[in-house]
Amino acid sequence: MRPDGIVCLECGKLRKTLGTHARLRHRTTLDDYREKWGFNRQTAFVAADTAARLRRLALKRNLGAHGSAELLAKARAARRRKDLARRPEARLKDGAAKKQLYASGWQPRRYRKVDDRTLRRLAREGLDTKRIARKAGLSIDQTRSRLQALGLLPPHRRRRLVDRQRILALRREGLWPLEIARRMRIRRQLVLKILWIFRGQGVRVPTPRRPRPIKKRRVTDDEFLRAFRRAGTPAQMAARLGVSRAYVIYKTWYLRQRSLIAPVSRPRTRGRRAKLRRARPRSSRRRLPVPRRTRKDRRRGRESRDARTSAD
Protein backbone atom coordinates (compact mmCIF):
# COMPACT_ATOMS: atom_id res chain seq x y z
CA MET A 1 0.00 0.00 0.00
CA ARG A 2 1.13 3.54 -0.84
CA PRO A 3 -0.21 6.93 0.27
CA ASP A 4 -1.24 7.81 -3.28
CA GLY A 5 -2.82 4.45 -4.08
CA ILE A 6 -2.83 0.66 -3.76
CA VAL A 7 -0.78 -1.65 -5.97
CA CYS A 8 -2.75 -4.65 -7.21
CA LEU A 9 -0.72 -7.79 -6.59
CA GLU A 10 -2.47 -9.58 -9.46
CA CYS A 11 -1.48 -7.24 -12.30
CA GLY A 12 0.78 -4.64 -10.63
CA LYS A 13 -1.37 -1.60 -11.48
CA LEU A 14 -1.87 1.34 -9.13
CA ARG A 15 -5.47 2.00 -8.09
CA LYS A 16 -7.27 4.34 -5.71
CA THR A 17 -9.64 1.58 -4.63
CA LEU A 18 -9.28 -2.14 -5.23
CA GLY A 19 -12.83 -3.47 -4.89
CA THR A 20 -14.21 -2.59 -8.34
CA HIS A 21 -10.89 -3.37 -10.06
CA ALA A 22 -10.68 -6.86 -8.53
CA ARG A 23 -14.31 -7.64 -9.35
CA LEU A 24 -14.32 -6.50 -12.99
CA ARG A 25 -10.75 -7.24 -14.10
CA HIS A 26 -9.80 -10.34 -12.11
CA ARG A 27 -13.29 -11.74 -11.39
CA THR A 28 -12.65 -12.08 -7.67
CA THR A 29 -13.93 -10.56 -4.45
CA LEU A 30 -11.97 -8.71 -1.81
CA ASP A 31 -12.42 -11.59 0.64
CA ASP A 32 -10.81 -14.00 -1.82
CA TYR A 33 -8.09 -11.44 -2.55
CA ARG A 34 -7.29 -11.07 1.17
CA GLU A 35 -7.21 -14.83 1.65
CA LYS A 36 -4.97 -15.37 -1.38
CA TRP A 37 -2.37 -12.76 -0.48
CA GLY A 38 -2.52 -13.14 3.32
CA PHE A 39 -4.17 -9.85 4.32
CA ASN A 40 -6.24 -9.43 7.46
CA ARG A 41 -9.98 -9.42 6.93
CA GLN A 42 -10.25 -5.87 8.33
CA THR A 43 -7.81 -4.42 5.78
CA ALA A 44 -9.44 -1.64 3.77
CA PHE A 45 -8.08 -1.36 0.23
CA VAL A 46 -8.59 2.40 -0.13
CA ALA A 47 -5.83 4.95 -0.71
CA ALA A 48 -5.01 7.27 2.20
CA ASP A 49 -5.80 10.47 0.28
CA THR A 50 -9.07 8.97 -0.97
CA ALA A 51 -10.07 7.96 2.56
CA ALA A 52 -9.23 11.47 3.82
CA ARG A 53 -11.30 13.05 1.06
CA LEU A 54 -14.28 10.83 1.87
CA ARG A 55 -13.87 11.65 5.56
CA ARG A 56 -13.93 15.41 4.83
CA LEU A 57 -16.97 14.95 2.63
CA ALA A 58 -18.80 13.10 5.43
CA LEU A 59 -18.01 15.89 7.89
CA LYS A 60 -19.14 18.49 5.38
CA ARG A 61 -22.47 16.75 4.88
CA ASN A 62 -22.83 16.43 8.68
CA LEU A 63 -23.32 12.66 8.57
CA GLY A 64 -24.06 11.11 11.97
CA ALA A 65 -25.05 14.43 13.52
CA HIS A 66 -28.24 12.97 14.98
CA GLY A 67 -26.30 10.43 17.08
CA SER A 68 -25.55 11.01 20.73
CA ALA A 69 -22.02 12.37 21.08
CA GLU A 70 -22.02 11.72 24.83
CA LEU A 71 -22.84 8.02 24.44
CA LEU A 72 -20.21 7.67 21.72
CA ALA A 73 -17.54 9.28 23.93
CA LYS A 74 -18.54 7.08 26.86
CA ALA A 75 -18.31 3.93 24.74
CA ARG A 76 -14.88 4.89 23.43
CA ALA A 77 -13.61 5.52 26.96
CA ALA A 78 -14.93 2.18 28.24
CA ARG A 79 -13.36 -0.02 25.57
CA ARG A 80 -10.07 -1.77 26.24
CA ARG A 81 -7.16 -1.88 23.84
CA LYS A 82 -6.80 -5.66 24.28
CA ASP A 83 -10.39 -6.33 23.21
CA LEU A 84 -10.18 -3.87 20.33
CA ALA A 85 -8.01 -6.16 18.18
CA ARG A 86 -9.99 -9.33 18.94
CA ARG A 87 -13.52 -8.05 18.60
CA PRO A 88 -13.75 -7.62 14.77
CA GLU A 89 -12.22 -11.02 14.04
CA ALA A 90 -14.45 -12.75 16.60
CA ARG A 91 -17.50 -11.01 15.15
CA LEU A 92 -16.59 -12.18 11.66
CA LYS A 93 -16.09 -15.75 12.85
CA ASP A 94 -19.40 -15.77 14.70
CA GLY A 95 -21.17 -14.36 11.67
CA ALA A 96 -19.66 -16.98 9.35
CA ALA A 97 -20.57 -19.79 11.76
CA LYS A 98 -24.15 -18.50 12.04
CA LYS A 99 -24.52 -18.27 8.26
CA GLN A 100 -23.29 -21.83 7.88
CA LEU A 101 -25.71 -22.98 10.58
CA TYR A 102 -28.68 -21.35 8.88
CA ALA A 103 -27.61 -22.71 5.49
CA SER A 104 -27.78 -26.25 6.89
CA GLY A 105 -31.50 -25.77 7.62
CA TRP A 106 -31.32 -24.91 11.31
CA GLN A 107 -33.80 -22.43 12.74
CA PRO A 108 -34.56 -21.14 16.23
CA ARG A 109 -37.39 -22.97 17.93
CA ARG A 110 -39.60 -19.88 18.13
CA TYR A 111 -39.46 -19.47 14.34
CA ARG A 112 -40.27 -23.08 13.49
CA LYS A 113 -43.80 -23.28 12.16
CA VAL A 114 -43.58 -27.00 11.34
CA ASP A 115 -41.60 -29.70 13.09
CA ASP A 116 -39.42 -32.29 11.35
CA ARG A 117 -41.99 -35.06 11.86
CA THR A 118 -44.56 -33.22 9.73
CA LEU A 119 -42.03 -32.60 6.96
CA ARG A 120 -41.08 -36.29 6.90
CA ARG A 121 -44.76 -37.26 6.65
CA LEU A 122 -45.38 -34.88 3.76
CA ALA A 123 -42.27 -36.13 1.96
CA ARG A 124 -43.44 -39.76 2.31
CA GLU A 125 -46.68 -38.82 0.54
CA GLY A 126 -44.69 -38.15 -2.62
CA LEU A 127 -45.39 -34.42 -2.81
CA ASP A 128 -42.99 -32.05 -4.49
CA THR A 129 -41.22 -29.21 -2.70
CA LYS A 130 -43.72 -26.58 -3.81
CA ARG A 131 -46.74 -28.48 -2.43
CA ILE A 132 -44.94 -29.32 0.80
CA ALA A 133 -44.14 -25.62 1.28
CA ARG A 134 -47.78 -24.70 0.62
CA LYS A 135 -49.13 -27.22 3.13
CA ALA A 136 -46.51 -26.43 5.77
CA GLY A 137 -46.86 -22.65 5.40
CA LEU A 138 -43.17 -22.15 4.63
CA SER A 139 -41.30 -20.59 1.76
CA ILE A 140 -39.94 -22.82 -0.99
CA ASP A 141 -36.29 -22.01 -0.18
CA GLN A 142 -36.85 -22.67 3.52
CA THR A 143 -38.61 -25.96 2.78
CA ARG A 144 -35.85 -27.07 0.44
CA SER A 145 -33.14 -26.24 3.00
CA ARG A 146 -34.88 -28.16 5.76
CA LEU A 147 -35.56 -31.18 3.55
CA GLN A 148 -31.91 -31.22 2.50
CA ALA A 149 -30.86 -31.03 6.16
CA LEU A 150 -33.11 -34.02 6.93
CA GLY A 151 -31.66 -35.99 4.03
CA LEU A 152 -34.96 -36.11 2.14
CA LEU A 153 -33.60 -34.14 -0.83
CA PRO A 154 -30.22 -34.34 -2.56
CA PRO A 155 -27.79 -31.59 -1.56
CA HIS A 156 -27.62 -28.40 -3.54
CA ARG A 157 -25.54 -28.81 -6.68
CA ARG A 158 -22.99 -26.13 -7.29
CA ARG A 159 -22.86 -24.37 -10.61
CA ARG A 160 -20.83 -26.25 -13.19
CA LEU A 161 -17.48 -24.59 -13.85
CA VAL A 162 -16.70 -23.79 -17.46
CA ASP A 163 -13.27 -24.50 -18.91
CA ARG A 164 -12.26 -21.09 -20.29
CA GLN A 165 -9.08 -22.39 -21.89
CA ARG A 166 -11.08 -24.89 -23.93
CA ILE A 167 -13.35 -22.07 -25.15
CA LEU A 168 -10.27 -20.13 -26.26
CA ALA A 169 -8.85 -23.23 -27.96
CA LEU A 170 -12.09 -23.82 -29.87
CA ARG A 171 -12.17 -20.18 -30.93
CA ARG A 172 -8.62 -20.49 -32.23
CA GLU A 173 -9.80 -23.44 -34.32
CA GLY A 174 -12.15 -21.02 -36.11
CA LEU A 175 -15.48 -21.80 -34.42
CA TRP A 176 -18.20 -19.25 -33.84
CA PRO A 177 -19.64 -18.61 -30.32
CA LEU A 178 -22.84 -20.50 -31.16
CA GLU A 179 -20.87 -23.56 -32.29
CA ILE A 180 -18.71 -23.43 -29.14
CA ALA A 181 -21.83 -23.18 -26.97
CA ARG A 182 -23.46 -26.18 -28.68
CA ARG A 183 -20.31 -28.27 -28.37
CA MET A 184 -19.81 -27.46 -24.66
CA ARG A 185 -23.57 -27.42 -23.85
CA ILE A 186 -23.59 -23.91 -22.45
CA ARG A 187 -25.24 -20.64 -23.45
CA ARG A 188 -23.95 -18.45 -26.25
CA GLN A 189 -24.03 -15.37 -24.00
CA LEU A 190 -21.61 -17.06 -21.60
CA VAL A 191 -19.16 -17.76 -24.44
CA LEU A 192 -19.33 -14.12 -25.55
CA LYS A 193 -18.73 -12.92 -21.99
CA ILE A 194 -15.67 -15.17 -21.52
CA LEU A 195 -14.20 -14.03 -24.84
CA TRP A 196 -14.78 -10.42 -23.78
CA ILE A 197 -12.88 -11.12 -20.53
CA PHE A 198 -9.98 -12.56 -22.53
CA ARG A 199 -9.83 -9.43 -24.69
CA GLY A 200 -9.84 -7.26 -21.55
CA GLN A 201 -6.86 -9.22 -20.22
CA GLY A 202 -4.90 -8.61 -23.41
CA VAL A 203 -5.30 -12.10 -24.89
CA ARG A 204 -5.61 -12.15 -28.68
CA VAL A 205 -8.92 -13.70 -29.71
CA PRO A 206 -8.86 -14.58 -33.44
CA THR A 207 -11.73 -14.10 -35.87
CA PRO A 208 -13.65 -17.27 -36.86
CA ARG A 209 -12.67 -18.79 -40.20
CA ARG A 210 -15.71 -21.05 -40.63
CA PRO A 211 -19.03 -20.01 -42.20
CA ARG A 212 -21.42 -18.39 -39.77
CA PRO A 213 -24.01 -20.96 -38.49
CA ILE A 214 -27.24 -19.16 -39.46
CA LYS A 215 -30.43 -20.73 -40.80
CA LYS A 216 -30.84 -18.41 -43.79
CA ARG A 217 -27.34 -18.84 -45.15
CA ARG A 218 -27.10 -20.10 -48.75
CA VAL A 219 -24.25 -21.99 -50.43
CA THR A 220 -23.35 -22.41 -54.07
CA ASP A 221 -24.01 -25.59 -56.00
CA ASP A 222 -20.31 -26.47 -56.18
CA GLU A 223 -19.85 -26.13 -52.41
CA PHE A 224 -22.91 -28.26 -51.78
CA LEU A 225 -21.82 -30.96 -54.25
CA ARG A 226 -18.38 -31.16 -52.65
CA ALA A 227 -19.97 -31.61 -49.24
CA PHE A 228 -22.44 -34.14 -50.66
CA ARG A 229 -19.64 -36.27 -52.13
CA ARG A 230 -18.04 -36.50 -48.68
CA ALA A 231 -21.26 -38.31 -47.62
CA GLY A 232 -22.96 -38.05 -44.27
CA THR A 233 -26.41 -37.44 -42.88
CA PRO A 234 -28.28 -34.16 -43.52
CA ALA A 235 -27.50 -33.06 -39.96
CA GLN A 236 -23.76 -33.66 -40.48
CA MET A 237 -23.81 -31.82 -43.80
CA ALA A 238 -25.67 -28.91 -42.18
CA ALA A 239 -23.04 -28.66 -39.45
CA ARG A 240 -20.27 -28.85 -42.04
CA LEU A 241 -21.73 -26.11 -44.25
CA GLY A 242 -23.16 -23.94 -41.48
CA VAL A 243 -26.77 -24.15 -42.71
CA SER A 244 -29.97 -25.70 -41.43
CA ARG A 245 -30.96 -29.34 -41.93
CA ALA A 246 -34.12 -28.35 -43.82
CA TYR A 247 -32.03 -26.38 -46.32
CA VAL A 248 -29.82 -29.43 -46.95
CA ILE A 249 -32.89 -31.56 -47.72
CA TYR A 250 -34.31 -28.89 -50.04
CA LYS A 251 -30.98 -28.37 -51.82
CA THR A 252 -30.60 -32.11 -52.37
CA TRP A 253 -34.06 -32.31 -53.94
CA TYR A 254 -33.37 -29.24 -56.09
CA LEU A 255 -30.08 -30.58 -57.48
CA ARG A 256 -31.64 -33.99 -58.03
CA GLN A 257 -34.32 -32.38 -60.19
CA ARG A 258 -31.55 -30.79 -62.27
CA SER A 259 -29.81 -34.20 -62.61
CA LEU A 260 -26.72 -32.99 -60.73
CA ILE A 261 -27.28 -35.67 -58.08
CA ALA A 262 -28.09 -39.26 -58.94
CA PRO A 263 -31.71 -40.25 -58.28
CA VAL A 264 -32.57 -42.55 -55.43
CA SER A 265 -33.64 -46.06 -56.36
CA ARG A 266 -37.26 -46.81 -55.52
CA PRO A 267 -37.44 -48.95 -52.37
CA ARG A 268 -39.18 -52.31 -52.54
CA THR A 269 -42.69 -52.32 -51.11
CA ARG A 270 -43.04 -54.53 -48.08
CA GLY A 271 -46.09 -55.98 -46.43
CA ARG A 272 -48.88 -58.50 -47.03
CA ARG A 273 -50.57 -56.51 -49.78
CA ALA A 274 -47.32 -56.21 -51.75
CA LYS A 275 -46.76 -59.99 -51.54
CA LEU A 276 -50.27 -60.67 -52.87
CA ARG A 277 -49.74 -58.20 -55.70
CA ARG A 278 -46.51 -59.91 -56.73
CA ALA A 279 -48.09 -63.40 -56.53
CA ARG A 280 -51.14 -62.41 -58.64
CA PRO A 281 -50.72 -63.36 -62.36
CA ARG A 282 -50.74 -60.43 -64.70
CA SER A 283 -53.56 -60.33 -67.24
CA SER A 284 -52.69 -59.67 -70.87
CA ARG A 285 -56.06 -58.06 -71.57
CA ARG A 286 -56.47 -54.41 -70.91
CA ARG A 287 -59.37 -53.40 -68.73
CA LEU A 288 -61.85 -51.20 -70.56
CA PRO A 289 -63.07 -48.11 -68.78
CA VAL A 290 -66.68 -48.19 -67.57
CA PRO A 291 -68.77 -45.51 -69.33
CA ARG A 292 -70.19 -42.86 -67.07
CA ARG A 293 -73.99 -42.47 -66.98
CA THR A 294 -75.26 -39.12 -68.12
CA ARG A 295 -78.36 -37.21 -67.06
CA LYS A 296 -80.19 -38.36 -70.20
CA ASP A 297 -79.52 -42.03 -69.38
CA ARG A 298 -80.86 -41.58 -65.86
CA ARG A 299 -84.04 -39.94 -67.18
CA ARG A 300 -84.64 -42.83 -69.62
CA GLY A 301 -84.21 -45.32 -66.80
CA ARG A 302 -86.83 -43.54 -64.70
CA GLU A 303 -89.30 -43.45 -67.62
CA SER A 304 -88.88 -47.19 -68.26
CA ARG A 305 -89.47 -47.99 -64.59
CA ASP A 306 -92.62 -45.84 -64.53
CA ALA A 307 -93.93 -47.57 -67.66
CA ARG A 308 -93.48 -51.01 -66.13
CA THR A 309 -95.19 -49.93 -62.93
CA SER A 310 -98.24 -48.56 -64.81
CA ALA A 311 -98.50 -51.73 -66.90
CA ASP A 312 -98.72 -53.86 -63.80
Mind listing the pLDDT tens digit for each residue in 235-247?
A: 888 878 877 788 8
Ordered by start, the domain boundaries in the chain are 1-64, 96-149, 164-200, 221-257
Pick the CATH number of 1-64 from 3.40.50.720, 1.10.340.70, 1.10.10.410, 1.10.10.1550: 1.10.10.1550
Q: How much is the pTM? A: 0.31
Encode pLDDT of 211-256 as tens digits: 777 666 677 888 888 888 887 888 888 878 877 788 888 889 888 8
Encode pLDDT of 32-53 as tens digits: 888 788 787 777 788 888 888 8
> What per-residue confidence (pLDDT) applies to 195?
94
Encode pLDDT of 132-143 as tens digits: 888 888 888 888
Does the structure show a pLDDT above 60 at 269? no
- C-alpha torsion angle, residues 45, 46, 51, 57 (rounded to 10): -110
* 149 burial via Cβ count (<10 Å: 0-12, 13-18, 19+): middle
Encode pLDDT of 143-165 as tens digits: 888 888 888 887 766 667 889 99
Encode pLDDT of 70-80 as tens digits: 766 776 676 65
> What per-residue confidence (pLDDT) applies to 203?
92
Does the structure show a pLDDT above 60 at 83? no
